Amino acid sequence: MNGVPKKRIAVIGGGGAAGLAALRVFVDRPELKGPNAPWEIHAFEARKDIGGMWMNEDPGESVVYSGYDDPVPPTPLYNSLTTMGPHPIMAFHDFLFPPSTSLFPPASHVLDYLRAYADHFDLRRHIRFLTSVESLRWNTEISKWELIAVEGDKDKRPVKGLYDAMIFANGSYRKPRLPSIPGIGEWEGTGRKFTHAVSYREPSPFRGLNVLVVGAGPTGMDISNELTQTARVVYRSAPGASRTDEGAILMRGRVIALHPEDNRVDYEDGTSDTGIEHIIFATGYTFSFPSMEGLVPDANAPLDCPLPDHLFSSTSHIYPLARHIFPLRDYSPRTLAFVGLPTLLVPFPTFEDQSQAIATIFLNGDKLDRAAEEAKISERYNILHKQSKSKLSYIAEQWHRFRHGDPELEDQFEYRRELLALAGKKGWEVQSWEAQVWGDTPVMRKEWAKLVKSGVSEDWVRGVGEKGVGEWVELMHKVVQHAKQQH
């Protein structure tokens, strides 16, 4: 750049979908390419290859977190996992899954897809694999991030560097969240055990046991369904669920207490069960950024204030952030950004749209209207506060969730449109069919599982996609119509 030093950007977690999306945008935007590009970008990936949560762990790859005794694998990938949404809506921009791919592909296909994406955009050359970031500190005197990492598998080598900006893209499926239930600390004993869903792989270890799965989400549902193949009795706990004592899965309400002295579990409706031998908590994950000085989980985070004086992590959300991305306290939006915090939405294209906004603000921070962003945060807080009936933990838990069909809160597709408008990105517009498909996903996923089980799913997708995404849209509508006809 004619003697002007390039700015250096670091991406933490470069091998997963969020990190790859950030890299793709930063190396592919026209104004950022070539010898005169205003910055250089480096990604740090603790694992050995591309894949993130979609790549199985190696022996000994687990880590230990405080507050959780068992070693935790670096991925929650269970053997039967498929995508939660149909792949045509999940795909990155301008990069579809291959023709004839199963509509809800298994993890191995997603892994192949991510690696093909990385190779197509030549992203590997920007990533340092087997490199764990140990410490990040913003040096106010020189206005740079001081990064300390460790590189290597067996022979560890220190890595240090100074960076002008930092992008966190290290995922939110790492540190297990265990609920605060009276008696949980004393539950494990002779004949009793609990684990988190992050460690679940397949149902055979639970053969002949009475198992309780705690969790209302799709992971809890998947695990419960699988356990019916091997467990003696499968209970599933979800807030507000009505008790059922018939069927393959016995539904229960929220767990409110565990009594190890008589092996009893109490539920919110006043009922109890005894004889449960193993509890699997499919209760999600905490936001964890242990390497970053100044952003540590704070049990005293001021949840009663949407715009506190500092940037906080409540373990359930990071705030205050503009667009769920940019800090509005302590750090300049031109020096720090987060990719992938929002949940309950279409992930891969959202990661790219967030990255477009990040590239724009890193180039020109004045494009972020702080007053307007603070107003949006206050508005969201007030809506969630009303919905929560003053339960502040609810606000934290729901902050980054984009619930489909909630008329009061921002829709995920409108969120993406606003990101692209901020970035001035043309050609990546949200398509009219996407919202309809997302709304139909629960019906579609259930029906597709039936087609897979009956052995006809491959016939349904054979050749689909060879002429573009339109063929996939037609197929998805066909699956939904087939489901309605069966009922």
Per-residue pLDDT tens for 380-411? 999 999 998 878 889 999 999 998 888 899 99
- Could you tell me where the beta strands, DSSP code E, fall in 243-391? 249-252, 255-259, 264-267, 272-274, 278-281, 285-286, 312-313, 318-319, 321-322, 326-327, 336-338
- Specify the CATH architecture of the domain 7-174+287-423: 3-Layer(bba) Sandwich (3.50)
425, 25 in Cβ contact below 8 A? no
Indicate if the alpha-carbon torsion angle 24, 28, 31, 36 is positive or negative: positive
Q: Compute φ and ψ for 402, nearest 5 degrees.
A: -105, 90
Mean pLDDT of 363-374: 94
Q: What is the pLDDT of residue 429?
A: 96
Percent of the chain with pLDDT over 70: 97
**Predicted pLDDT at 401:** 94
Strands 39-44 and 127-128: parallel
- In the predicted model, is pLDDT for residue 297 greater than 80? no
Fill in the amino acid letter for 433. Answer: W
Give me the residue label for tokens 């270890």.
205
DSSP-derived secondary structure letter, 13: S
pLDDT for 66: 64
What's the rounded mean pLDDT across residues 53-80?
A: 84
**pLDDT band at residue 299, thresholds of 50, 70 and 90?**
low
Residues 295, 293: Cα–Cα separation, whole Å: 6
Share of the chain above pLDDT 90, in %: 78
pTM flag (> 0.85): yes
Q: What's the confidence (pLDDT) of residue 376?
A: 96
For residue range 470-486, what is the model confidence (pLDDT) as tens digits? 999 999 999 999 999 98
- pLDDT score at 190: 65
Per residue in 411-455, pLDDT (tens digit) is 999 999 999 999 999 999 999 999 999 999 999 999 999 999 999
Q: Are the beta carbons of 46 and 131 closer than 8 angstroms?
A: yes
Measured between alpha carbons, how far is 298 from 318 in angstroms, rounded to an integer? Answer: 11
The identity of residue 377, as a single letter, is I
Question: 178-283: what fold?
Answer: FAD/NAD(P)-binding domain (3.50.50)
The alpha carbon of residue 38 and the mean position of all alpha carbons in its chain are separated, in whole angstroms, by 30
Contact 76, 197 (CB under 8 A): yes
Task: Report the 10 Å Cβ neighbour count for 135.
Answer: 13
Length of the chain: 487
- Interatomic CA distance for residues 350 and 327, integer angstroms: 19
Query: Which one has a higher pLDDT value, 326 or 29?
Result: 326
Look at residue 296 and tell me whether its pLDDT is greater than 70.
no
Label residue 198 exposed, middle or buried (CB < 10 Å: 0-12, 13-18, 19+): buried
The pLDDT, as a whole number, for residue 257 is: 97
pLDDT score, position 110:
98
Measured in whole angstroms, the distance separating CA 119 from the mean position of its chain's CA atoms is 23
pLDDT band at 2 (very low <50, low <70, confident <90, very high): low
Q: Is the pLDDT of residue 459 over 80?
A: yes
Nearest 10 degrees: Cα torsion 387, 390, 391, 397: 50
Q: Which of 136-140, 152-156, 307-311, 337-341 has the weakest average pLDDT?
A: 152-156
Q: Specify burial of residue 191 (Cβ count, 10 A radius: 0-12, 13-18, 19+).
A: exposed
Whole-Å CA distances, 232 to 204, 229, 250: 12, 9, 12
User: How many alpha carbons lie under 13 Å from residue 251 in its C-beta half-sphere?
Assistant: 11
Q: What is the pLDDT of residue 60?
A: 77
Please write the tens of the pLDDT for every residue from 168-221.
998 777 789 999 999 998 887 767 789 999 999 999 999 999 999 999 999 999
